[in-house]
Amino acid sequence: MKWIGWWYFPARLAWRQLVFDRTKLIAATCGVLFACVLVFMQLGFKDSLYASAASAPVKLDGDLFLMHKQSEAMWRPVQFKRSELMRVLGNPAVAEAYPLYLGLAPFKNIQTQTKRTLMVYGFDPDSQMFNVDAVRNKHAELRLKDTVLFDEYSRPEFGPMRQLLEM
Encode pLDDT of 100-155 as tens digits.
888 888 988 888 888 888 888 888 888 888 888 888 888 888 888 888 888 777 77
Q: Residue 123: which of 105, 106, 134, 135 has the closest Cα?
A: 135
Q: Rounded mean pLDDT of 61-75?
A: 81
| C-alpha–C-alpha distance, residues 75 and 77, integer Å | 6
Which range among 84-93, 122-131, 154-163 shows the weakest confidence by mean pLDDT?
154-163
| Geometric angle at alpha carbon 116, from 110 and 120, rounded to 5° | 105
Give the contacts of 18 (CB within 8 A, at least 6 positions apart): 25
**pLDDT for the residue 83:** 84
Q: Crossing angle of helices 22-58/8-20, nearest 10°?
A: 100
- pTM > 0.75: yes or no: no
The per-residue pLDDT for range 3-54, each reduced to its tens digit, is: 566 667 788 888 888 888 888 889 989 999 999 999 999 999 998 888 877 7
What pLDDT does 61 receive?
84
Give the pLDDT band (50/70/90) at residue 158.
confident
pLDDT at 4: 62
Q: How many CB atoms lie within 10 A of CB 2?
A: 3
Contact 141, 156 (CB under 8 A): no
Out of 31-40, 84-93, 157-166, the most confident range is 31-40
User: Domain ranges in the chain?
Assistant: 2-55, 62-166
| pLDDT for residue 1 is more than 60 | no
